[in-house]
Amino acid sequence: MSTFVPNTTNLPKVKDANVAILASSWHKKFVESMVVACETVLQKQGANIQKHVVPGTYEFPIAAQGLATADLELEAIICLSVLLKGDTQHFEMILNACTTGLTYVSLDLSIIIVNGILPANTIEEVIARTKSNDQNKGFEVGIATVRMIDWERSILER
- Give the active site residues: 90
The CA-to-CA distance between both ends of the chain, in Å, stands at: 39
The conformation of residue 17, written as its DSSP 8-state character, comes to -
Largest CA distance in the chain: 51
Q: What residue type is assigned to position 51 of the chain?
A: K
Answer whether 68's CB lies under 8 Å from 101's CB.
Answer: no
